[in-house]
Structure 1
Amino acid sequence: MLCALLSGFVLVGFGAVLHKAFSLQVLEHEFWLGKARLQSETTFRIPVYRGSVLDRNGRLLATSVHQFSVFVDPSKVPDKPGLARKLSPIIELPAASIEAQTKNRQGFTWLKRGISDQQRNLIERLQLEGVQLSPEYQRFYPFGSLAGQLLGFTNVDGKGLEGIEKLYDTVLDKEPIDCSQLRDGARRRISLHDQGSDDTDQAGGITLSLDAVLQAIAERELGAAVAAQGARAAEAVILDPRTMEVLALANWPPFDPNRYQAAASEDWRNRAITDLFEPGSTFKVFLYAAAIDQGTVRETDRFFCENGVYRLARNTIHDVHPHGWLTVPEMLMVSSNVGAAKLATKLGAGKFYQYIQAFGFGQKSGIGLTGEAQGLVRPWNEWRPIDLAVTGFGQSIGITALQLSSAVATIARGGVWQRPTILRRALRDSDQAEIRRAIQPARRVLKASTAALLTKWLIKATGEGGTGQPAVPAGYQVAGKTGTAQIVDPNTGTYSGKRYNAVFTGFVPAADPRLVITVVVHEPSKSIFGGTVAGPVFRNIAAEALPYLGVAPDRDDPNGKRSPTRWASLDPGAGPNNRQ
């Protein structure tokens, strides 16, 4: 009987143990697992690899590199002042700041992002309670300031904030992954593991139409011009008129996205698409194009240019040099403001406005870059006679360097306008689908015969006696136009007599255009004229860019001079045969 009673107690006790074990392991499994994780594991999210940005020839413009960051779980720090004292000299933050971040906080708190390998090793040796290291990625721009305003930058979490990084953020970015830090019973770190994939090969990426070598040439020449002329700033655009791909979009002063926080925010601005300026005499190109295309004038027509002083109502229009009777192409060659004013009046506001719009002015270019300005063109029915006259030589209108380049490319393309592009291809992260740039719609703006005649005149404008002669590189024929534009004084609302923009735009070789180049130099203090300030920048860029692209000279060079190929310093292993 006693044995039976004891057996019963044993069975009851064993049953209770089984019931408790079942309850702990099955019914309360999730509850106790969560409690265990709270004591032994910290979970947090970290950024992962962001897709790269390449130039047209595969050069790396933006990429992501491994780094470590340090964070703390304040609830697991027994000695907060002591922790702050130990970490302060390593991560170079005041001890008071570190201690403040650990007070009255629970869970994950960043202390410093992007520490060096030396800092990481020192922290690991300390084995501090509550302090952990997180592997992540830092955005890196291998060429520093090259195309900085175009590329833009990301924040510390890898989100695009400016430029290409912002525009294609959804293509380049990947979702953060969940990570956990495990500790053993002695609270020592065991491992860092994730519940996602960090396969850099599967990240999205984009290839731009930009050529890093041409970008470097343009930026170097802008910097030299700004220094030589005591200018405030400058920009240059290089297009391939055959495809309307942007090969360079350069700004000066430069901006290094690796250190964007150290730069003034105005230096982030991509002036080639954001800043409006009055084009000055470069705008005469489109006036003459409209007048010829409409049949308003013929090549042999002559205008009296009033010996350089033309009074219209209560206004006076001046030429730099006095001229009498000139033919239409002669007026363009010597850049007569008086002749342009009379030609605009003869064409009429309505027709001129139609061509201004057709060339793409007063609207965004369609390139898609963030921050692009649409320009300033008032409706033609609001123009007074003086407004029509001065618009003929590029006053009372606001444009960007990219708009001017696209419009000039229309002439280089035989009268057909097409929007410019910057993207060649993109690889989407989510499904690795390739996104190629769509074929852009084109529209005819000018008759082919008009474009051909205008090209002939623009060649004369850069020839002997033309204002654009300083823009011609040895061995190549240029079709182009100078511009010297007064700047409106914001205090008086009138044109300043001391502040100017110097402009040159054109295409080369003139007979078979491979490049359209526009140069704008803001507020030079030595010389002010487009031909002498912006023209040499055009010449120097073209003199290096054309041999680099493998474009043979199209005319005899009487001096037998050739420019040195300094572009080789950027990419020593590449030659002209590899250019795209």
Structure 2
Amino acid sequence: MEMKNSNAKRFRARTHVVVALFTCLFLLVIGRAAHLAVIDRPFLANKALSQYSRKLVTQAMRGAVKDRMQQDMAVTLELLSVAVDPKVITDKAAAAKLLASALNLPESYIQKRLAAKSQFVRMARFVEPALVDEIKAQAKEAKIKGILFEPDPRRFYPGKTLAAQVLGYCGANGQGLEGVERFFNDDLSGRGTSLSVKVDASRRSFLTSSLPNLDHSGHNVILTIDRTIQAVAEVEIAKAVEINEAISGTVIVVRPQTGEILALAQAPLINSNSYGDHDAGLRRLRAVTDTYEPGSTLKIFTASAALESGLVTPDTVFFCENGNYRVGRHTIHDTHHYGNLTLAEIVKVSSNIGALKVGALIGKKRLHDSLRSFGFGSRTGIDFGGEVGGYMAPFQYWRDIHAGTIAFGQGISVTAMQVVAGTCAIANGGTLMKPYLVSAVTDSEGRVIKSFGPRAVRRAMSEDTARKVREMMALVTREGGTGTMAKMVGYSVCGKTGTAQKVENKVYAKGKYIASFVGFVPKDKPAIAMIVILDEPRGRQYYGGLVSAPVFKAVAERALPHFNVPPEILPETVVDETAAVDEAACSDPLPSISWQDDGSEGSADTF
């Protein structure tokens, strides 16, 4: 009896254990089911959805960059990429043969790619639509499935070298990385479209409803650049760089009344279609990123400051010390030994000593404030990335000699864009205009989305002073001036030459110069202003009047007829093309200062 009771108790205990185990298991199952149904539901739903659908993001067509006449300078080609799904392709030998022949690739390369485990293997990028159509037709005829095609747009620059540093370039993802492509990237890029598409068992995508509107293409950017004059400027500056063995050269052509940049050329030339392959030094737009000491080109702004002060007139006479002038322990030199010169003659023959005396007469503050009014020491605000403002110390930090040395272009750093912008103010009657490269942003139908126009920054000088400085600059290109090689038939050219020593490690480098010429034409109704700079010409000549002025003339001779600027009736402007050039007269005095106590050269941060 006791044994039976004992067995019954053990049975009941076992039963309770089993029931408890099953109850626990049941509760675990219920709990897991509840967790899946409530907690993990979004995750599982998305995972399930991904098995039969996927998101397809379309890339918007990038807008074009056009010149002022609406001619394409940067466009996007609608190309395609060719890929394969190795898991779908059954006859890999036939597929390899077809693709190798069509894409001009080794058959062994195709076979290796077809052996990949992936469901998407790219074979080629940027394939022409016509070739894609051929591949599709051949694949259909051979009953080969699994060859895939996707849009693969590519940026293309029809002009190749034309305005390469201005345009910049785009990366592999189609986004602008430098130049106008980067500065106006948001306008050019447009907006892509995200689509949800179904996927079949072979992972092929298909739409279950009508295709939505995908027209979110980027806007077009319209430049102020004239591609004809841009091409002329590039040819001429590239030629000058080669002939004079210079490191680089720059030409900027501007409409003085508006600030529109008609050409911005730089040599050595680079091809925009292989832009990223070029060294960064060749890619940067030196006109806005590089500074230099302007040398004698600054004398026209010194003359303006002097006239505005009311202390001098164009006929005020300064004694130029017969070419050597000692100031304290420094001696200033001129190339030629001049005695008495008027202010106008100082500009004409480019006397350093004369300019120094003018600067000393008007004083630090007047000169500083006048140069600031022309924009020196601050950015021009051009619509382009990477612009620097140069440097001009506050006049409170100038030493006594600085008003003189800055007056002839030493001890101040500028950009080419600043100098030509300031010169435009002289040309247009005294108003400093903001230079600009882009006139408008339009949509794909040509409707204007944004418009950019002339913007006056400030009045830099009076109209009367501007007229007087123009007369002085006209003397520079006449007989006896330093800029006669810019003289043209039928037009009166206003200009100023400049030759400055380069600064390296805060010291003026021996035998290294910046040669420049800045000016405008015609004198009374200027149609174009232009600056030409050659960096470190190493040929027989290095003076701005000899190597840069001829480039000004060559570009202007093409630009004026192109813009329908009629010749002036000025008999004195007729040039005897056979006359020998007076190279001595075209030589600027270098802004050189010698030390009288030990004979060593001055450092760049001294002046």
Report the TM range for the smaller structure's normalisation.
0.7 to 0.9
The answer to whether 1:436 aligns with 2:448 is no
Q: CA separation in 2, counterparts of 1:189 and 1:516?
A: 59
Q: SS state of the match for residue 303, structure 1?
A: strand
Aligned partner (choices 71, 76, 80) of residue 59 of structure 1: 71
Deviation at 1:45, TM superposition (A): 2.6
The answer to whether 1:253 aligns with 2:268 is yes
Q: CA separation in 2, counterparts of 1:254 and 1:98?
A: 41
1:356 counterpart residue number: 371
1:12 counterpart residue number: none
The answer to whether 1:159 aligns with 2:175 is yes
User: Structure 1 residues 36 and 167 mapped into 2: Cα distance closer, same or farther (>3 Å)?
Assistant: closer
2:163 counterpart residue number: 147
The answer to whether 1:236 aligns with 2:251 is yes
The answer to whether 1:447 aligns with 2:458 is no
Q: CA separation in 2, counterparts of 1:436 and 1:498?
A: 47
Kept in 1, the 8 Å contact 2:250–2:533? The answer is yes
User: Structure 1 residues 307 and 33 mapped into 2: Cα distance closer, same or farther (>3 Å)?
Assistant: closer
Letter in 1 for 2:555: I
Q: CA separation in 2, counterparts of 1:192 and 1:495?
A: 73
The answer to whether 1:537 aligns with 2:537 is no
User: Structure 1 residues 444 and 183 mapped into 2: Cα distance closer, same or farther (>3 Å)?
Assistant: closer
1:565 counterpart residue number: none
Q: CA separation in 1, counterparts of 2:444 and 2:565?
A: 38
1:464 counterpart residue number: 479
Aligned partner (choices 373, 382, 388) of residue 367 of structure 1: 382
For structure 2, the residue ranges without an aligned partner over 5 or more in a row are 1-40, 578-607
1:422 counterpart residue number: 437
1:380 counterpart residue number: 395
Deviation at 1:281, TM superposition (A): 0.2
Letter in 2 for 1:163: G
User: Structure 1 residues 173 and 294 mapped into 2: Cα distance closer, same or farther (>3 Å)?
Assistant: same
The answer to whether 1:507 aligns with 2:523 is no
Please give the per-residue CA displacement for 1:534-566, whole angstroms capped at 9, x wherever unaligned: 0000001111110111111112354598xxxxx
Kept in 1, the 8 Å contact 2:51–2:199? The answer is no
Q: CA separation in 1, counterparts of 2:371 and 2:106?
A: 57
Q: CA separation in 1, counterparts of 2:526 and 2:463?
A: 15
User: Structure 1 residues 33 and 548 mapped into 2: Cα distance closer, same or farther (>3 Å)?
Assistant: same
Kept in 1, the 8 Å contact 2:125–2:152? The answer is no
Letter in 1 for 2:460: V
Deviation at 1:98, TM superposition (A): 9.9
Deviation at 1:296, TM superposition (A): 2.5
Aligned partner (choices 495, 499, 503) of residue 488 of structure 1: 503
Deviation at 1:407, TM superposition (A): 0.0
2:36 counterpart residue number: none
Aligned partner (choices 273, 290, 294) of residue 275 of structure 1: 290
Q: SS state of the match for residue 153, structure 2?
A: strand
Kept in 1, the 8 Å contact 2:320–2:339? The answer is yes
Deviation at 1:314, TM superposition (A): 2.2
Letter in 2 for 1:142: P
User: Structure 1 residues 504 and 433 mapped into 2: Cα distance closer, same or farther (>3 Å)?
Assistant: closer
Q: SS state of the match for residue 545, structure 1?
A: helix
1:175 counterpart residue number: 191
Aligned partner (choices 123, 128, 132) of residue 148 of structure 2: 132
Aligned partner (choices 408, 411, 414) of residue 423 of structure 2: 408
Aligned partner (choices 497, 509, 516) of residue 510 of structure 2: 497
Deviation at 1:186, TM superposition (A): 7.7
Choose 350-359 or 417-426, whichever is displaced more.
417-426
The alignment covers a number of residue pairs equal to: 528
Kept in 2, the 8 Å contact 1:180–1:192? The answer is no
1:11 counterpart residue number: none
What are the residue-to-residue correspondences of 1:109-120 with 2, within 5 Å? Answer: 112-116=124-128, 120=132
Q: CA separation in 2, counterparts of 1:498 and 1:442?
A: 38
Kept in 1, the 8 Å contact 2:488–2:575? The answer is no
Deviation at 1:482, TM superposition (A): 0.2
Q: CA separation in 1, counterparts of 2:504 and 2:201?
A: 74
Letter in 1 for 2:521: V
User: Structure 1 residues 439 and 515 mapped into 2: Cα distance closer, same or farther (>3 Å)?
Assistant: closer
Aligned partner (choices 60, 74, 89) of residue 48 of structure 1: 60
Kept in 2, the 8 Å contact 1:44–1:108? The answer is no
Give the structure-1-normalised TM-score. 0.82
Q: CA separation in 2, counterparts of 1:453 and 1:55?
A: 35
Q: CA separation in 1, counterparts of 2:181 and 2:537?
A: 32
What is the aligned-residue RMSD (CA, Å)?
3.6
Q: CA separation in 2, counterparts of 1:224 and 1:132?
A: 49
Deviation at 1:44, TM superposition (A): 3.3
Kept in 2, the 8 Å contact 1:315–1:386? The answer is no
Aligned partner (choices 81, 88, 96) of residue 69 of structure 1: 81
Choose 310-319 or 66-75, whichever is displaced more.
66-75
Identity %: 33
Kept in 2, the 8 Å contact 1:141–1:258? The answer is yes
Q: CA separation in 2, counterparts of 1:161 and 1:464?
A: 48
Choose 384-393 or 515-524, whichever is displaced more.
384-393
Q: CA separation in 1, counterparts of 2:458 and 2:323?
A: 38
Q: CA separation in 1, counterparts of 2:62 and 2:76?
A: 6
User: Structure 1 residues 85 and 388 mapped into 2: Cα distance closer, same or farther (>3 Å)?
Assistant: farther
Please give the per-residue CA displacement for 1:59-82, whole angstroms capped at 9, x wherever unaligned: 111111210113456887899999
The answer to whether 1:210 aligns with 2:210 is no
Q: CA separation in 2, counterparts of 1:94 and 1:355?
A: 72
The answer to whether 1:479 aligns with 2:494 is yes
User: Structure 1 residues 133 and 306 mapped into 2: Cα distance closer, same or farther (>3 Å)?
Assistant: same
Q: CA separation in 2, counterparts of 1:371 and 1:104?
A: 46
Letter in 1 for 2:558: E
User: Structure 1 residues 329 and 96 mapped into 2: Cα distance closer, same or farther (>3 Å)?
Assistant: same
Q: SS state of the match for residue 282, structure 1?
A: helix
For structure 1, the residue ranges without an aligned partner over 5 or more in a row are 1-27, 562-580
Q: CA separation in 2, counterparts of 1:319 and 1:94?
A: 73
Larger radius of gyration: 2
Q: CA separation in 2, counterparts of 1:383 and 1:495?
A: 19
The answer to whether 1:550 aligns with 2:564 is yes
Kept in 2, the 8 Å contact 1:506–1:518? The answer is yes
Q: CA separation in 1, counterparts of 2:340 and 2:46?
A: 96
Please give the per-residue CA displacement for 1:191-227, whole angstroms capped at 9, x wherever unaligned: 9999444548x64112111111111111111011111
User: Structure 1 residues 558 and 192 mapped into 2: Cα distance closer, same or farther (>3 Å)?
Assistant: farther
Q: CA separation in 1, counterparts of 2:196 and 2:86?
A: 16
User: Structure 1 residues 261 and 195 mapped into 2: Cα distance closer, same or farther (>3 Å)?
Assistant: farther
Letter in 2 for 1:68: L
Deviation at 1:176, TM superposition (A): 2.3
2:27 counterpart residue number: none
